[in-house]
Structure 1
């Protein structure tokens, strides 16, 4: 089932999410719905707070980063992403290493805005997969960045929180408009400033 994505300004996006137990009711269905919702919005990652659930779960499918246009060279940062589809439950980023690099990030909860964010290129993360296997893995390049972005969501952090005060002021009107639902978007959303039933 495709679920509405919660828009910027919603309180659930600024809360630190809760860890869940293995017997969390309806988890497999929720994960299926999250993937379906992410694909319908052409995203590469989606965290549970973005569908209104304040739990420490996110899904990623970075395979679009591995696509190469004819005549272009593959991007080394996208190496190994052809089948990079994963579920992260109760994740903990244990380490972040390397020299920070900039990339224009976007977010399904903040449509129409992309801004450069600095992140470290290599991470070590521990988490449970959908079958509740405990894993400790290392990622770099785009895989690390996508994971860092989604991990921020379960910590109540948005990519706009990394922007300079000046950049935030410049984007303020756009962000207010998003929270009001005054934005062109090709997927279902819930907007905090619109009462249920009106949109």
Structure 2
């Protein structure tokens, strides 16, 4: 079995709020396209049926990230892993905003999903840096942020699209992730988990 020892530097209540917000922003990005499928399809000249594949591609990417990238956090510094993933996230969101063709936009959705799985890196970090008595509550707070984002993401993207256009939703999301990259780099503590067999 793989075990990740907690460090003596526990996250504070304020930091838990930051991680909750980070989880919300990261997971929200994979749901922004859902209410925008019709307008995205019109932009690229594709049918609503073909535009609907975007949702599947994003979820597929998220699943691939959880399956192949997130487990790396058991053997490497989660701060470094999250930083790499968020940097890729910024690039993917910027590419989505600038995509000149539907096939490019569709391919980018896969990478958005893959890098969005950084959410599942943050949650174990909070768990491993929380006192045992508070671990469940703090993980629950981060998960609550994630669930609220899933509920609100579609509304936010619909409003932004109506006001300034759907591409701007991805521009704003890229800036939000850039802000998270800075904040998490400052907040997360670098440590290398130790893998032991029992």
Which category describes the TM-score, using the shorter chain as reference length? under 0.3
Superposition TM-score, scaled by structure 2 size: 0.23
Which structure: greater strand fraction?
Answer: 1
After TM superposition, the score normalised by the length of structure 1 is 0.23
Higher helix share: 2
